[in-house]
Amino acid sequence: MVQTMPKYQFELPDISLVVGAEAADIQGMHTLLQQEGCPNGENKFTDEPKAIYLDAIQTRIAKRNKANTNSSMDFVLCVVNHKAILVDAKFNAKHVDNLKKHDIDQKIAASRAILCFDNYSLINKFYILFKNSILNESQKNKLKRQFLQSPNYSFVTAIEFYDLFEKVAKNGYDMLEKGRFACLIIGDKYANSQHIPLGFECTHTTTAHIITAVVDV
C-alpha cells in the first residue's frame, strides 16, 4: 500500500507566532536551508516562501535572561488555515545513529515554549531533513525504529520536503485529458497589514507543470 504524504501551501509567517521574534527572523526557505548546510543541488526552494528562524530567537532570549541557549527546532513555517510546522535540519550529519528521539523531543518542547497559539495551531508532524546521500531506505527504517515507529516524525530529504508543497498544483494537471487545458484563477490577499501576491507566488510552482501539460497535448 502506497502511503500518500500530506500536502501543504505556504502562508506568509506572522512574527506574532513566536515570542521575541523580529522581522529579520523571517527568512526565505532557500537561504534557510543553505545556511543549515543543504547542498545546492538539493535545495529546490526559492526565497519566496518564508519561515521563521528559531535559533536566532533562542540566542537572543538566552542573552537577555543571561542563561544557556535552549536548543530548539531550526525553523517554523506557516501553512494555510493558520497552522504551523516545526522543522529541524540535519544536513551536516554523517550518519543517523546519533539522532535520538529524546533530543528531538527536547527541541520540540523548547520550540513550543516560545510559540504563541492565539492564531495558529501546531501540526503534530515534525520534519527532520537530511542530505540525499545519508537518507536511503535503510537509514529511514533505522530512524523509524529509533523513534519507536511514531507517525509524528517524518525523515525526509530537502527535495522530498519541497515536494510536499509542489504537488498541490501538480495533482490537478495530472488529471487533465490530452487536448484539455487548466486555468488557475487566484486573487491576492491582504493579511496582517501586508499585501500578499498569491498569484505571483504560485507562478514558480505551477509553471513547470503547465509546460509539461502543453508538451503532452
pLDDT of 77 higher than 80: yes
* Average pLDDT, integer, range 171-178: 60
Q: Are the beta carbons of 10 and 201 closer than 8 angstroms?
A: yes
Higher confidence at residue 207 or residue 108?
A: 108
pLDDT of 208 higher than 70: no
Per-residue pLDDT, 121: 95
Strand, coil or helix: 176:
coil
Q: Are the beta carbons of 48 and 70 closer than 8 angstroms?
A: no
Higher confidence at residue 46 or residue 190?
A: 46
With pLDDT > 70 as the criterion, what percentage of the chain qualifies?
A: 73
Per-residue pLDDT, 187: 63
Q: Are the beta carbons of 126 and 89 closer than 8 angstroms?
A: no
Per-residue pLDDT, 154: 97
Count Cβ neighbours within 10 Å for each residue of 162-197 and write b for 16 or more, e otherwise: bebbbbbbeeebeeeeeeeeeeeeeeeeeeeeeeee
Contacts of 51 (CB under 8 A, 6+ apart): 13, 26, 27, 29, 32, 75, 76, 77, 78, 87
* Average pLDDT, integer, range 162-178: 65
With pLDDT > 90 as the criterion, what percentage of the chain qualifies?
A: 69
Task: Give the end-to-end CA distance of the chain in Å, rounded to a whole number.
Answer: 31
The torsion region of residue 192 among left (phi > 0), alpha (psi -120 to 50) and beta comes to left
What are the domain boundaries of the chain? 10-168
